[in-house]
């Protein structure tokens, strides 16, 4: 029983062993990792806000005022002015009646899916959904059907076949390992036709897509009528920590009553909420960051195409390079590291067997010269 050594050995043997590297200093495009200076292309801090002076100043100032820990859950004494103000500002940002803060995106997804569905219901998820959406569907007692990636007609077929009481469609807005944007207008049409609700987890779209950074829904010009449940995370383009669910007054009240990952956990520190308010202000007012990021994405794709690299069809900050075998992805990641460039190798079970890849992510904090440096390093591996 519990032969852990054998289980670990198997991870090694299949090139799936995961280990952590130690980073010194701030999360930035230049980091010292395991004692080596690196140019980093694997962070989700897409706008470079984790180290923005206004965001840091708001955090420090709030820590002085509120202290560090919130001391309790939101329903006890943990719901402070900073949390409440951030919720109102986030609701305005994504044009919803209300927003509810969570400590992580993982918990926000668990909350939304389990509070809405029970064993009489059915949850329909894209095959490439983020692990937290998959786990959320599993934790709810609803039937979980998974449809072909980004395929609204496959979804429609499953909806047609369903006799469930309530139907909830769940999808990433931007897929975290592929970088493509879900066909949200088509998914919304199929959902509407079958009286299903659509939940979009826009962890990688918020801040990056849309004219004011409001994400995938703004990109498509969609409203809360088409997408009643919107999940956003704050640890990526916002550069801070936490997450939120946004929607109608009744949706948020239901989550407050029912969502166990909201009720039974300590509220995130108020200083994190204040830092996020500062970061939201920058996202809404400083569109130059977003424009710079999109110019870098374009530059990278053009250069990679010239090198004949097999990029995936993505217009977002996530620009994966499909490799295939886990061992090859690992070797390429190591070879880049030897040149001082940090890119993570993504292997099963995060992605399907045989589709291991380098997950390259770009940030507004990169310069054009740094994109060119990445391109020449990739060229040297080919």
| Residues near ligand PLP (CB under 6 A) | 104-106, 109, 130, 132, 172, 176, 201, 203-204, 233, 235, 243
Q: How far is the CB of 160 from ligand PLP (least distance, A)?
A: 27
Q: How far is the CB of 86 from ligand PLP (least distance, A)?
A: 15
Q: How far is the CB of 234 from ligand PLP (least distance, A)?
A: 7
CA 164 → CA 121, 141, 182, 229, 251, distances in Å? 5, 12, 24, 19, 20
Query: 124 - beta bridge partners?
Result: 145, 169
Pairing label, strands 243-247, 36-40: unpaired
Q: How far is the CB of 7 from ligand PLP (least distance, A)?
A: 25
- Detail the DSSP E strand segments found in 64-187: 98-102, 122-126, 143-147, 167-172
What end-to-end distance do the CA atoms of the chain give, in Å?
45
Q: How far is the CB of 242 from ligand PLP (least distance, A)?
A: 7
- Of 104 and 279, CB closest to ligand PLP: 104
d(CA 333, CA 356): 11
- Of 61 and 149, CB closest to ligand PLP: 149
- Of 208 and 375, CB closest to ligand PLP: 208
Q: Tell whether the torsion through CA atoms of 207, 176, 371 and 53 is positive or negative.
A: positive
- Of 109 and 276, CB closest to ligand PLP: 109
Active site residue 204: yes
Which position among 132, 145, 176, 363 bears the catalytic label?
176
Count the Cβ atoms, other than its own, within 10 Å of residue 113. Answer: 30
Question: Which residue of the chain is nearest ligand PLP when measured via CB?
Answer: 105
Which position among 130, 204, 292, 366 bears the catalytic label?
204
Contacts by residues 335-341 (CB-CB < 8 Å, ≥ 24 positions apart)? 335/381, 336/377, 336/378, 336/381, 337/36, 337/38, 339/377, 339/380, 340/36, 340/37, 340/38, 340/39, 341/38, 341/39, 341/41, 341/373, 341/374, 341/377
- Of 93 and 241, CB closest to ligand PLP: 241
Catalytic residues: 176, 204, 236
């Amino acid at each position: 029983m519990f032969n852990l050594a054998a289980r670990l050995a198997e991870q090694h043997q299949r090139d799936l062993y995961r280990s952590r590297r130690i980073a010194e200093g701030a999360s930035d495009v230049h980091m010292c990792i395991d004692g080596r200076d690196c140019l980093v292309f694997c962070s989700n801090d897409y706008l470079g806000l984790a180290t923005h002076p206004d965001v840091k100043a708001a955090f420090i100032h709030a820590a002085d005022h509120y202290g560090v820990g919130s001391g309790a859950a939101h329903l006890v004494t943990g719901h402070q002015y900073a949390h409440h103000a951030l919720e109102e500002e986030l609701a305005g940002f994504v044009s919803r009646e209300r927003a509810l803060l969570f400590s992580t995106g993982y918990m926000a997804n668990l909350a939304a899916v389990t509070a809405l569905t029970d064993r009489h219901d059915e949850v329909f998820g894209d095959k490439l959904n983020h692990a937290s959406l998959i786990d959320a569907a599993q934790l709810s007692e609803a039937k979980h059907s998974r449809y072909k990636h980004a395929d609204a007609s496959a979804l429609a077929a499953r909806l047609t076949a369903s006799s469930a009481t309530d139907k909830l469609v769940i999808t990433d807005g931007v897929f975290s390992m592929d970088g493509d944007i879900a066909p949200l207008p088509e998914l919304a049409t199929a959902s509407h036709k079958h009286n299903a609700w659509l939940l979009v987890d826009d962890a990688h779209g918020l801040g990056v897509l849309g004219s004011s950074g409001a994400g995938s829904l703004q990109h498509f010009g969609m409203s809360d009528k088409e997408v009643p449940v919107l999940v956003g995370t704050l640890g990526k383009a916002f550069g801070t920590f936490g997450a939120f669910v946004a929607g109608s007054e009744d949706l948020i009240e239901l989550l407050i009553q029912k969502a166990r990952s909201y009720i039974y956990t300590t509220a995130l520190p108020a200083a994190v909420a204040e830092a996020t308010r500062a970061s939201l202000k920058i996202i809404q007012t400083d569109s130059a960051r977003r424009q710079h990021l999109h110019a870098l994405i374009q530059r990278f794709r053009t250069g990679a195409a010239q090198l004949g690299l097999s990029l995936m069809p993505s217009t977002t900050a996530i620009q994966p390079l499909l490799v295939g075998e886990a061992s090859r992805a690992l070797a390429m990641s190591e070879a880049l590291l030897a040149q001082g460039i940090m890119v993570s190798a993504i292997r099963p079970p995060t992605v399907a067997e045989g589709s291991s890849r380098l997950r390259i992510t770009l940030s507004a904090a990169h310069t054009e010269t740094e994109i060119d440096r990445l391109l020449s390093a990739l060229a040297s591996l080919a």
